[in-house]
Amino acid sequence: MPKVLIADKMSNRAVEVFKARGVDVDVITGLSKDELMKIIGEYDGLAVRSSTRPDAEIIGQATNLKVIGRAGIGVDNVDIKSATDRGVVVMNTPFGNAITTAEHAIAMLFAAARQIPKASERTQNGEWPKSDYKGTELFNKTLGVIGCGNIGALVAERALGLKMKVIAFDPYLTEERARKIGVEKVELDTLFQRADAITLHTPLVESTKNIVNRERLGMTRKGLILVNCARGGLVDEEALKDALDAGHVSAAALDVFSIEPAKEHALFGTPGFIATPHLGASTNEAQENVAVQVAEQMADYLLTGA
């Protein structure tokens, strides 16, 4: 019977699926790298979210490992090259949390446009700061979507429902698909020049690192709203801080940071800045979906090689 280690917190549905399929499963979360290296040799499969980072050393000790399953989308916490070199398949669940993440991006867009977190905090402090918060209406505004794959398209669909205009930059987006979604495909610089709000939905790779940089922020309209629920490292955080301080960017809502957990940050406390702790995929529905999907995929692979 193949044996899987679940090394990060995930819905118990994953355990149920593994057991129902005849896969032996241990749930041991919060392991240090050394602890994981000591036991990984016992397992055929390793299921993770984002806390566990299977790197070359861990994979090097994983003498029986056949598959690493990421209950989520981004596989940037897994050393794919080392895994591939040792014949370990890496799989993710690209669809399970997409709607939840798209909804978080829309929530962040509204929160930024109306400065809801700060207004709420001050109201609850007894200030009643009614005249301090004149927000921005999203109706008829242009949303620039960077990365119009699975999540980006869901965000675009929702923004169109809000009667926003949506422009998108994505080298993989065909004109036909753009028409189908109802977005206008544009070049990256055009997106920065035309958007009233920008939302990021691209993975972090060499070509997208600091895609929102000082130069591009300088091209944007005054009053820009920026939302990032994709990956830290897509935004030059220092340049964003300067743009917020200068009032050029009116609001920015980040769910992800270049270093996580971000317990201290130069952006914290900056007027117009909103932060959440990488909550994009954190709903009951999404966590159940990704747990079930990763367990089904891993079990299929371990039991049938498919």
**Catalytic sites, residue numbers:** 231, 260, 278
Interatomic CA distance for residues 205 and 79, integer angstroms: 13
**39/279 with CB nearer ligand MLT:** 279
Q: What's the closest the beta carbon of residue 15 comes to ligand MLT, in angstroms?
A: 18
**49/141 with CB nearer ligand MLT:** 49
Q: How many residues bind ligand MLT (CB under 6 A)?
A: 9
Among 58, 73, 235, 243, binds ligand MLT (CB under 6 A): 73
Q: Which of residues 32-71 bind ligand MLT (CB under 6 A)?
A: 49-50
Residues in the chain: 306
Interatomic CA distance for residues 178 and 283, integer angstroms: 29
Among 2, 45, 74, 147, binds ligand MLT (CB under 6 A): 74
Instruction: Calculate the CA dihedral of residues 280, 284, 285, 291 and round it to 10 degrees.
Output: 90
In angstroms, the Cα distances linking 244 to 73, 170, 235, 237 are: 30, 26, 13, 10
How many CB atoms lie under 10 A from the CB of residue 184?
Answer: 15
How many CB atoms lie under 10 A from the CB of residue 139?
Answer: 8
Query: Which residue has the closest beta carbon to ligand MLT?
Result: 72
Tokens encoding 84:
């591939």
Q: What's the closest the beta carbon of residue 75 comes to ligand MLT, in angstroms?
A: 8
Q: What's the closest the beta carbon of residue 133 comes to ligand MLT, in angstroms?
A: 30
Q: Which of residues 99-158 bind ligand MLT (CB under 6 A)?
A: none
Interacting residues of 186 by C-beta distance below 8 A, sequence separation 6+: 144, 167, 168, 169, 194
Q: Which of residues 244-303 bind ligand MLT (CB under 6 A)?
A: 278, 280-281
Nearest in space to 14 (alpha carbons), one of 49, 58, 63, 50: 49
Task: Tell me: does residue 97 bind ligand MLT (CB under 6 A).
Answer: yes
Tokens encoding 167:
């422009």
Residues engaged in binding ligand MLT (CB under 6 A): 49-50, 72-74, 97, 278, 280-281
